[in-house]
Amino acid sequence: MLLKAINLEKGFGETEVLKDISMEVREGEVVAIIGPSGSGKSTLLRCLTQLERVDRGQIEICGKQMVTMNGEKAIYADNRTLHDIILDVGLVFQNFNLFPHMTVLKNIVEPQVKVLKKEKEEAQRKALELLDKVNLKDKAQAYPGELSGGQQQRIAIARALALNPRILFFDEPTSALDPELTGEILKVIRGLAEENMTMVIVTHEMAFARDVADRVIFMDNGVIMEEGTPEEMFSNTANQRTKEFLQRFNEN
C-alpha cells in the first residue's frame, strides 16, 4: 500500500468536514473520488498532502507513519519524517497555482532546485523533458499569463512530476477549464495511468473516471458512501445516494 488512511476526522470550528474516512491506495492504482460539492473532497486531499492537519485518525504514506493516534489525539510525526513524506506526494490544483512572475521553465526548475537541491542544469534538462511530455516544449520561455488554462494546467502537471512523487493527487484538474480544453488534460493523465503512475483524482468528469480509474470512491457529507470498480459504481450501484448523485450528473 502506498497510502493508508484510517478513521480520519477533520473539522473547521463547529463544522465536521471529514467524519470518518478510511481509504487505501495500492502502488500503480488510479483512484477517482467523486461526490457533491462541499462533501469534503478537497479537504481530504489537503489533509493527505499536509496542507491541513486532521483532528483524529491515522495516515501512512509509502510505509512512513505521518499521523498516529494516542488515545483520542492525533500525533504527527517529527518534522523530518513529515518532510520526507512531502517528497513522496504531489498535488495538482484546480487553479494551477503557477508562479505568475516566472517563466514556464523556471516554474518547473525552481522547485527541483529548492526542494530536491538539484543542480540547475540537471533541473533544466528534466524540465525540458517534462515539457516535451506534456507537449509544451515551445512554451518554455513564456509566462503563465500568456498561456491558455489547459496549457497552464499541463505546466502544473509537469511541475508536480519534476519532483518525482510516488503518488500524485489531482483536485478537479479540469473544472476551471473550458470544455474544449479538458480533453488535453485528461489525455496527459491517461498517459500517466498507462505508465502506472499512482494517482488519486478528484473529478466531476464521470466518463473519464469510468474510463481511467481502477477504483471509484463516492464521498458524501464527509464520509465515503460507497466505493468499487467503475463498473460497480456506474452501472450496478445499489446505493441510493450514489444513484441520485449520478442521475443528477447525467441530467446536467
Site residues (vs ligand ADP, CB under 6 A): 12, 15, 17, 35, 37-43
Contacted entry of Mg ion, ligand ADP, none for residue 58, CB cut-off 5 to 8 Å set by kind: none
How far, in Å, CA of 167 to CA of 169, rounded? 7
Instruction: Tell the smallest beta-carbon distance from residue 113 to ligand ADP (Å).
Output: 30
Window 32 to 61, contacts with Mg ion (CB under 5 A): 41-42
Alpha-carbon distance of 162 to 9, in angstroms, equals: 31
Q: How far is the CB of 42 from Mg ion (least distance, A)?
A: 3
Q: Got the DSSP string for 84-125?
A: HHHHHEEEE-TT----TTS-HHHHHHHHHHHHH---HHHHHH
Q: Which of Mg ion, ligand ADP, none does residue 159 bind (CB under 5 to 8 Å by kind)?
A: none
As a whole number of angstroms, the distance between CA 45 and CA 48 comes to 5
Regarding 198 and contact with Mg ion (CB under 5 A), the answer is no
CB of 56 to ligand ADP, least distance (A): 16
With CB atoms as reference, the residue minimizing the distance to Mg ion is: 42
**Closest CB to ligand ADP among 17 and 105?**
17
| Least gap, CB of 35 to ligand ADP (angstroms) | 6
- Taking a C-beta distance cutoff of 8 angstroms, is the pair 17, 40 a contact? yes
Q: Rounded to whole angstroms, how far apart are CA atoms 217 and 58? A: 19
